[in-house]
Structure 1
Amino acid sequence: MNNAEQQFLKELDDKLWKSADRLRNNLDAANYKHVVLGVIFLKYVSDAFEERQQELRELFTRNNGDDNIYYMPRDDYSSDEEYQKAVSAELELHEYYQEKNVFWVPREARWHFLKTTAAQAIGSVIGHDENGNALKLRSIAWLLDNALEAIETYKIAGKLANPKLKGVLPRIGRYEVENHNLTELINKFSDTSFSNPVYNGEKLNLHSKDILGHVYEYFLGQFALAEGKQGGQYYTPKSIVTLIVEMLEPYKGRVYDPAMGAGGFFVSNDKFIEAHADEKHYKAAEQKKHISVYGQESNPTTWKLAAMNMAIRGIDFNFGKKNADSFLDDQHPDLRADYVMANPPFNIKDWWHARLEGDVRWQYGTPPKGNANFAWMQHMLHHLNDTGSMALLLANGSMSSNTNNEGEIRKSLVDADLVECMVALPGQLFTNTQIPACIWLLTKDKKNGFSLDKRKVDRRGKFLFIDARNLGFMKDRVLRDFAPEDLEKIVQAFHRWQQDDNYEDIKGFCYAATLEDIKKHDYVLTPGRYVGAAEQVEDAEPFSEKIARLSSQLKEQFEKSGRLEAEITKNLTELGYDA
């Protein structure tokens, strides 16, 4: 995005967040996110519907000389009134929206209706039911819930119009938000141009889907910060997600996340394809058709957040029939993915069940019953096809622990030549834990990886270690983040090792190891053991001269401190204080 687009989105984020943040007077973050995200979703589906409707109206009414199969000639109707009625009726046919993957939005869920109705007095008649009985506005929460219910349950020819959304959308009435707060939220979203936006007189190349998708993602991040530990269960920091996607480069194929949270990896993958369209000479919209998204999530609320996130992004998805435990109720038992990406919860203790004894997934050793780290890894490997690659975030202990069979599992993975790269991350990256983390990158084929147009060097029997603990910056007093140049440094090191015969190590940062190297370290995979110490820049100033210079500076500072102390004492005495 250019500077104008970035600034537009930043100011939009601030404005909408300040409006939404007022709800915190009445609700905690874990609850008010559902209210705000529900409103964002209604705005998105309505905008997308209206954009398609405007496109169709132009197709119906304009004879531009092209082969326009949609064109409805005015001469076929006896009057303008009859013609406009025919056009309006045609605009309400579900098929026109379905063919463009646009959700069907019933009249009572369209944004114009919501906005105008929210401005009316409570108790006003806003329509009639199918039996002709008057419908009265009970509350603004009821109005929004009625819209969400309609989108989920509306049927055409006896079939759900939006089957992907069944049981997914939140309900707002349960949180007892005051009418004026919800009306203000609706008005804030109404006075922002999501279609054809302009910033400082410049028309922006941003569509409604792009803007509302960005807003949804921004709000997820803000809610995660507000919720702290609980928020980390559904949100992985954006820079870490971006890092993993950029390293794996999933251009096409089946992408799977067994602990998907709100679906951040899928969104980042979607952006990755768009960002590299020009570089790889393909059309992003066409390339996205070659990606299939599969996910699973045990938390019912988070499962719904992910489905809404995909819907807003226009990403087709398969998240199983329900929220479910990935170990005990695998929603994709036959899936063999090309890419697997995940940030499973670290060091889960209470995960084991007797039914998991002897499970086919434990090909490299039975995971300890008191820690699920290697269970997640083997579950992901089980779902990886014969040329697939994967990445997952785990606690640092997974790289070195030898307790409860973990060391033997790690040895089996290394000996099977599945481990491709280990990345040690800096601390304080996550909102929900201070546990240091690492990235495991594994692949089933180090000779011929699955890619769009990428040549890979034969790296069988070779392993890359990257120590990124010194990268990043403190974005506030508690959280660390990666700058774009940090991400680029890590990604480039990995891709150089994968693709360049002339790859060279960088002391203190990356090292290409052999199986013999790893054996010498007893199969411990901590990058710091392999990369060595960074080369220090030699100090040209002689030691004796440096000591003399620093001593002189210190003497000056002491003298200055003494003068300041005397001046303060004098001023306090003049004011009548005993210094």
Structure 2
Amino acid sequence: MTITQQELESRLWAAANALRGPVDPADFKTYVFPMLFWKWISDTWVYEREEALDEYGDELDDEIEADFHRFELPPGTMWDEVTATVVNLGATITKTFQRIEKANPKSLAGVFGDASWGNKERIPESALLGLIQAFNQIRLDPSTVSHDLLGAGYEYLLKNFADESGKKAGEFFTPREVVNLLVGILQPEPGESVYDPTCGSGGMLVATINQLRESGKDHRTLRVYGQEINLTTASIARMNLFLHEIEDFEIKRGDTLRAPAFKDTRGAVRTFDVVIANPPFSLANWGADRWAADPRAFCGVPPAKNGDFAFVQHMVSSMNPGTGRVGVVMPHGVLFRGGAEAKIRQCLIKEDRLEAVVGLPPNLFYSTSIPACLLIFRERKPAERKGHVLFIDGSARFDKGKKQNVMSGDDVKALIDAYHTGQDPDGEDGTEVRLVPLEEIESNAFDLNMGRYIKVAAEETADLGAALVAYADARQRRIDAESAMFERLAAAGIDLSILEVPDDE
């Protein structure tokens, strides 16, 4: 008997709620996703065995049956066997996960993460039993839950865990309307490679697959790659892709800026057709000391206390010659900040790789309320856009939510259409969309602040968005002015220790 999406979501959320109280909601994902994944592969293994028996009957042997199974489950690792344990259940689950990973070294090594299942301070046995009992109410084989339904259920949990986690959610979850907007702009095609250097829970990679499926194209030839610094989040991404029936993928754990995991035979960063990411905004400790001789710093080394342009340059360096395109979420500060960032911005603009700047509404993200933007780069821009940058103001396209604002499907489609056509969605030239020549940008000292080039879309958004941007702009100018002043004072031999310098960089 199949299950509806509403029933599945209700039961999955009941499983998560079994942890409520002794486990911090921000940690729900650490425990729920491995259990969900284990239940799925266990139920599916039983289903596959029944299929093999139906087809071969008494002639079935281990060699034939192995062809029916996607994953190998050693004896004693099935869900029903292990969860019946009454002594040291958490420790038994840990050993079970280790055995499953060891039996599937190429596909499942490390997939269950590093949760301390046997630590009763972290997850009391009562909570663990409640989690198991909740999952016992759900059969997760293909006869009950399709891949599409299970993938949607996984996304439902991710969204709810993000809502529960508050600002911490920014580390693993990007609002899906932003993901869909980026994917719709970049339009990955069958046979292409897609790379997310800060992949979080894998949402952007999954969205590229879903877009091809929904458009009737062959998603199976798409190759997806991701790197994620957090072990738990990297594991969640891998489970996410498996549950969405994606086979050809690589998720590697590590620090993309300090140690990029995807290299070619010459040791340079690998290149991809589509590079897409929502990196952490204005990362302070990003590894600037290693970048002076790094080929990725082709436009300069970003400030040690702000890694935004390190991510941008890494992504631009990862574009395939000819077909490469990049879409990256950035804070508005990258559009106008001075110092080293101004030089990098000028370099990128002069190389004519920046194709578009898309302003987003405020308060979309869990980690910050400030408005963000999308920067779109292409290795080869269309002829009509060479020597220009397309500006799109989407700051007014949102609905107010309780905690975060949201963009509707129509809002997302309007901005995607604006990017591909270069036309204002509402037919009012210059109100939301404008193709600006590089000469005009150069006359503004390569400042990309949206308000310099197109009209403000809505007064309500301008009040918040423009005010925040103006504040950030003024703050940066003050910091730059103070730096110049202190350099002159030091050069004049004045003892700066008598001055109190505010540390707000």
TM-score, normalised by the number of residues in structure 1: 0.71
Residue number among 456, 461, 484 corresponding to 2:387 in the alignment: 461
State whether structure 2 residue 251 is matched by structure 1 residue 319: yes
Structure 2 matches for 1:15-414, cutoff 5 A?
Answer: 15-61=11-57, 83=58, 86-87=59-60, 89=62, 93-97=65-69, 102-114=70-82, 117=84, 122=86, 138-154=87-103, 161-170=104-113, 171=115, 172-176=117-121, 177-195=123-141, 207=146, 209-252=147-190, 253-277=192-216, 282=217, 287-315=218-246, 316-320=248-252, 323-334=253-264, 335-387=270-322, 388-402=324-338, 404-414=339-349
**How far off its partner does 1:420 sit?**
0.9
Match of 1:540 in 2: none
Cα 1:535/1:24, change in 2 over 3 Å: closer
Which residue of structure 1 lines up, in the alignment, with residue 401 of structure 2? 475
Which segments of 5 or more consecutive residues in structure 2 lack a partner in the other structure?
265-269, 460-505
Query: Who is 2:446 aligned against?
Result: 523
Asked if 2 retains the 8 angstrom alpha-carbon contact of 1:29 and 1:223, the reply is yes
Per-residue CA deviations over 1:420-439 (Å, capped at 9, x if unaligned) read 11111111111111232110
AA of the residue aligned to 2:368: T
- One-letter code aligned to 1:94: A
Note if contact 2:14-2:134 (Cα within 8 Å) is conserved in structure 1.
no
Task: Identify if the C-alpha distance between structure 1 residues 189 and 506 changes in structure 2 by more than 3 Å, giving closer, same or farther.
Answer: farther
* Contact 1:424 1:526 (C-alpha < 8 Å) held by counterparts: no
| Aligned Cα root-mean-square deviation (Å) | 2.8
How far is the alpha carbon of 1:88 from its aligned partner? Answer: 5.7
State the distance in 1 between where 2:394 and 2:277 align: 19
8 Å CA contact 1:420, 1:441 repeated in 2: yes
- Contact between 2:43 and 2:141, CA under 8 Å: does it hold in 1? yes
Q: Is the 8 A contact 1:418 1:443 kept in 2?
A: yes
Q: Structure 2 CA distance, aligned partners of 1:329 and 1:164?
A: 22
| Residue-pair matches, total | 447
Match among 6, 9, 19 for residue 10 of structure 1? 6
The answer as to whether partners of 1:518 and 1:525 remain within 8 angstroms in 2 is yes
Aligned-pair distance for 1:377? 0.5
User: Partner amino acid for 2:273?
Assistant: D
In 2, Cα distance between equivalents of 1:372 and 1:429: 21
Letter matched to residue 150 of structure 1 = R
SS, match of residue 20 in structure 2? helix
Task: State how far apart, in whole Å, the 2-side matches of 1:395 and 1:224 are.
Answer: 20
- The alignment partner of 2:356 has SS state of strand
Identity of aligned residues (%): 30
The alpha-carbon distance between structure 1 residues 506 and 58, as it changes in their structure 2 partners (threshold 3 A), is farther
Secondary structure of the residue that 2:282 maps to in structure 1? coil
In the alignment, which residue of structure 2 is the partner of 1:78?
none
Question: Shift in Å at residue 466 of structure 1?
Answer: 0.8
SS of equivalent to 1:173:
coil
Q: After alignment, is 139-148 or 419-428 more displaced? A: 139-148
Counterpart amino acid of 1:168? V
> Structure 1's 254 and 183: CA in aligned 2 closer, same or farther, altered over 3 A?
same
CA distance in 2 between partners of 1:140 and 1:44 (Å): 19
Question: Is the CA contact 2:422–2:434 (under 8 Å) kept in the aligned structure 1?
Answer: no
Q: What's the CA shift for 1:90?
A: 5.1
Mapped to 2, the partners of 1:263 and 1:23 lie a distance apart of 24
CA distance in 2, matches of 1:196, 1:506: 51
Question: Are 2:442 and 1:508 aligned?
Answer: no
Q: Secondary structure at the match of 1:433?
A: coil
| Distance of aligned partners of 1:535 and 1:296 in 2 relative to their CA distance in 1, 3 Å threshold | closer
Q: Look up the SS of the partner of 1:435 in the other structure.
A: coil
Instruction: Look up the equivalent residue of 2:393 and give its one-letter code.
Output: D
Q: Secondary structure at the match of 2:389?
A: strand
Cα deviation for residue 369 of structure 1 reads 2.0
**TM superposition shift of 1:276:** 0.9
Deviation for aligned residue 1:482: 0.9
Q: Give the C-alpha shift of residue 260 in structure 1.
A: 1.1
Please say if residues 391 and 433 of structure 2, whose CA atoms lie closer than 8 Å, have aligned partners that are also in contact.
yes
1: CA distance, partners of 2:13 / 2:227: 29
Structure 1, 481-490 or 359-368: larger mean CA deviation: 359-368
Q: Distance in 2 between matches of 1:151 and 1:270?
A: 27
Query: What is the CA distance between 1:342 and its match in structure 2?
Result: 0.6
Task: Report deviation, 1:298.
Answer: 1.7
Question: Contact conserved, 2:101 with 2:110, CA < 8 A, in 1?
Answer: yes
Q: Which residue of 1 aligns with 2:417?
A: 492
Query: 1:295–1:222: structure 2 CA closer, same or farther, 3 Å change rule?
Result: same
Aligned counterparts of 2:385 and 2:15: Cα–Cα separation in 1: 53
Distance of 2:451 and 2:45 partners within structure 1: 53
* Stretches of structure 1 lacking an aligned partner (at least 5 in a row): 62-82, 123-137, 155-160, 199-205, 448-456, 537-579
Greater Cα offset, 311-320 or 427-436: 311-320
Q: Structure 1 275/50 Cα, relative in aligned 2: closer, same or farther at 3 Å?
A: farther
The one-letter code of the counterpart of 2:328 is: L
**CA offset at residue 296 of structure 1?**
1.2
Q: So what's the TM-score if we normalise by structure 2?
A: 0.81
Question: Is the 8 Å Cα contact of residues 22 and 127 (structure 2) preserved in structure 1?
Answer: no
Match of 1:80 in 2: none
CA deviation vs aligned residue, 1:351-370 (integer Å, no higher than 9, x gap): 23433213211112222222
Note the alpha carbon deviations across 1:488-523, whole angstroms, 9 max, x for none: 11111111139x9x9976442111222233233332
Take 1:251 and 1:379, find their aligned partners in 2: how far apart are those partners?
22
Greater RCO between the two (CA within 8 Å, min separation 6)?
A: 2
Q: CA deviation at 1:196?
A: 6.2
Letter of the 2:416 partner, please give it.
V
